[in-house]
Structure 1
Amino acid sequence: MQGDLGLVLNPIGIVHSSMKDVEDPPLPDRPAEVEIYAQYQPALLRIEENSHLWLLLWFHKSNRQVLVGAPRRLNPDLPDYGVFSLRSPNRPNPIALYLVELVSRQGNILKVRGIDAIDQTPVLDIKPYYEQDIVFSPRTSYIRAADRTVRHNIMLKVALRHHQEPCRDANLAVRMALAAEEYMGNLNQPELNITVYGSRCLGDTLQGLTRARLANPARFTFRESSQLSRSIWERPGCNLMITARDIEPVGDWHDPDDEDLFSIELSQT
């Protein structure tokens, strides 16, 4: 890996993953191993103190000539973006940035979760994820996957990263947010307010999914309730109320239709 200015990057390790080809579908929370080469193992001292890490990888099978593209595997109807506005692997310098959960360390092997790099991808660097890295409600492009299952998996990944537990009400919150997105579009838009009635797990997960703050601007209201699981979504000209039905325990939260899980009421104002 040598550039025009004589810049040389020496990989510090390599990824071991069940993902063997760039066309393999990404899976949420796919486990993987990062093998650090022996000469760099001392640099892992105290790395176990961190729950999450930034991984810098080199996407060695990327097309380095691409400057403009669209995430059409995600949604064929999306417009073009410059590659510096995307997480596309195809770019002039195919450096990948992953935020992963450190599951465990065994010598020079890091077991991680949350990476969809293919097997044998070179690792350039590792950095700890610090609390000051957090931007709770950033402004980003709204890039929506066409496939509902993909959207579900993306939201579930965000929910688990925020709430830290795959409990029933965290899964219920993901399904509420999926249903709300069908009517409201981008759930992070600043003019969309949300009021949640229910458990703390429901409220916490919905706040994490919507990035709605209590102030500046005030978008989020929570009312704890043991009798009701409801979210109310309001923006100028439109109100949406989603109330959970009293249902049997759900095995796979991908399966039930919205109408089986919720009573949904939409009103135009």
Structure 2
Amino acid sequence: MELKPIGIIHTPYKTAGDAPFQGRSSSETCEIEIFEEYEAGLKDVDRCTHLILLYWLDRAGDCVLQTHTPYDTDIHGVFATRSPARPNPIGFHVTELIGRNGNVLKVRGIDAFDGTPLIDIKPYSSGIDAVVDASIGWFPNETRTKGYRDEIEGLIEKGDLRGLLEKTGELHGHFCSHSALGVKAAYLAMREFGVVNTGMEEVVAIVETNNCFSDGIQMVTGCSFGNNSLIYKDYGKTAVTVAKRDGAAIRIALNPAFEDSRAERYPEANALFEKLVVRREEPTPEESARLMQLSEEIAVELLGADDSELFIIERKTVTLPNYAPIFASVRCSRCGENVMETRARVVDGMPVCIPCSGDEHYAMKGDGIYIER
């Protein structure tokens, strides 16, 4: 049996660290180059919305017939998984066709390495290929029919800023001006990009502050430390850059003219904030209730304010770090707890965690990042 490649897949992914965990979650635009002798076979392909790509995983590891997956701790046969380390390393992917230019197809949502040989193309049909009640069986949460962020994505689509503020309140604990500003900034970015965040690093938020603004950013964008799509730069600026994997980005910073006018615009709220939050003076129950009331009123008011009054907005291109690697753990020789290998210290030839070693390390608290020992 002989396989002949019909083309080459061109992507920005050179290594496993570059490639998305699942191509379907990627917003990158990639190219499929069809060899000249097969170009006639592309007739009418541009009338398709989605294509099935079959390709040769030429950089896959040695075949392993039983393997672990990232989804659980059990061992499964390779034919019950999507592992690339197979007897015949054939990749299968459904991708969105954006357009055709001669022998080149532009597609979105693929995770193949750059230079991967293409074996075949077939049209994808939701009527023929989609099996609604199909099941892998062992795959966790596969019966879930709704996305985890459907409610928030729906609020973004409807432009329901009040609803997004309500969701942020669940995380932040109350309404305030800066959480509302974070909501509005994140909404502007997500609306402009039109991308759905599945928590697989297809969208990255770079925040420049750890104040209330950041909670609005996290809730609306879905970017967090836990899903490796929130980057914190300790600049002390109320600003965020939201970026897609292709480098397209928008930086939204609080307009200093607006910031300077807040005390004059909201004198009662400002006076209470200075007393109860800045100076931490003991409040009366009435003062606490009044500050919460005013904070909510101001937060809702800011949602309707003009974007240019609140923010300085800059569209730019950035270079994002690679997808977050998965590090092995080692056992601390003193306390017996597991620790990420890259954070372990070596003492007398044995791995030791940072607390047991007494070594200095970075920590973050209310006034930013500092070195702690």
TM-score for both structures, normalised by structure 1: 0.52
Alignment partner, residue 14 of structure 1: 8
Deviation at 1:65, TM superposition (A): 2.6
Alignment partner, residue 263 of structure 1: none
Alignment partner, residue 252 of structure 1: 221
Cα distance in 2 for residues equivalent to 1:140 and 1:168? 34
Cα distance in 2 for residues equivalent to 1:51 and 1:124? 20
Alpha carbons of structure 1 residues 58 and 70: separation in structure 2 relative to 1, 3 Å: same
Match of 2:110 among 108, 111, 115: 115
Structure number with bigger Rg: 2
Match of 2:100 among 102, 105, 108: 105
Structure-to-structure mapping, 1:1-269, within 5 angstroms: 7-26=1-20, 28-29=25-26, 30-71=28-69, 74-75=70-71, 77-130=72-125, 131-144=127-140, 155=147, 167=157, 251-255=220-224
Task: Give the counterpart letter for 1:59 in structure 2.
Answer: L
* CA deviation vs aligned residue, 1:62-110 (integer Å, no higher than 9, x gap): 1243111111xx24x5211111001111100000100000011111111
Question: What SS does structure 2 have at the residue aligned with 1:126?
Answer: strand
Structure ranking higher on relative contact order (CA contacts 8 Å, 6+ apart): 1
* CA deviation vs aligned residue, 1:8-38 (integer Å, no higher than 9, x gap): 1010001100111133341622321110011
Task: Give the counterpart letter for 2:55 in structure 1.
Answer: L
RMSD: 3.5
TM-score for both structures, normalised by structure 2: 0.38
Question: What SS does structure 1 have at the residue aligned with 2:74?
Answer: coil
Preserved CA contact (<8 Å) 1:52 1:100: yes
Question: What SS does structure 2 have at the residue aligned with 1:84?
Answer: helix
What is the identity percentage for the equivalent residue pairs of Structure 1 and Structure 2? 35
* CA deviation vs aligned residue, 1:157-176 (integer Å, no higher than 9, x gap): 9x8xxx9xx8359xx9xxx9
Cα distance in 2 for residues equivalent to 1:168 and 1:94? 43
Cα distance in 1 for residues equivalent to 2:66 and 2:39? 38
Cα distance in 2 for residues equivalent to 1:25 and 1:155? 22
Cα distance in 2 for residues equivalent to 1:156 and 1:59? 31
Preserved CA contact (<8 Å) 1:64 1:94: no
Cα distance in 1 for residues equivalent to 2:29 and 2:148? 16
Cα distance in 1 for residues equivalent to 2:100 and 2:148? 25
Cα distance in 2 for residues equivalent to 1:65 and 1:79? 18
Cα distance in 1 for residues equivalent to 2:148 and 2:120? 27
Task: Give the counterpart letter for 2:92 in structure 1.
Answer: L
Deviation at 1:156, TM superposition (A): 7.8
Preserved CA contact (<8 Å) 2:58 2:89: yes
Alpha carbons of structure 1 residues 31 and 144: separation in structure 2 relative to 1, 3 Å: farther
Cα distance in 1 for residues equivalent to 2:10 and 2:136? 31
Alpha carbons of structure 1 residues 53 and 80: separation in structure 2 relative to 1, 3 Å: same
Q: Which runs of 5+ in 1 are unaligned?
A: 1-6, 146-153, 177-246, 258-269
**How many residue pairs end up in the alignment?**
160
* CA deviation vs aligned residue, 1:199-222 (integer Å, no higher than 9, x gap): xxxxxxxxxxxxxxxxxxxxxxxx
Q: Which moved more, 1:134-143 or 1:120-129?
A: 134-143
Alpha carbons of structure 1 residues 64 and 96: separation in structure 2 relative to 1, 3 Å: same
Alpha carbons of structure 1 residues 143 and 38: separation in structure 2 relative to 1, 3 Å: same
Task: Give the counterpart letter for 1:43 in structure 2.
Answer: G
Cα distance in 1 for residues equivalent to 2:18 and 2:138? 24
Cα distance in 1 for residues equivalent to 2:92 and 2:68? 19
* CA deviation vs aligned residue, 1:49-72 (integer Å, no higher than 9, x gap): 11000000000011243111111x
Preserved CA contact (<8 Å) 1:64 1:93: no
Question: What SS does structure 2 have at the residue aligned with 1:70?
Answer: strand
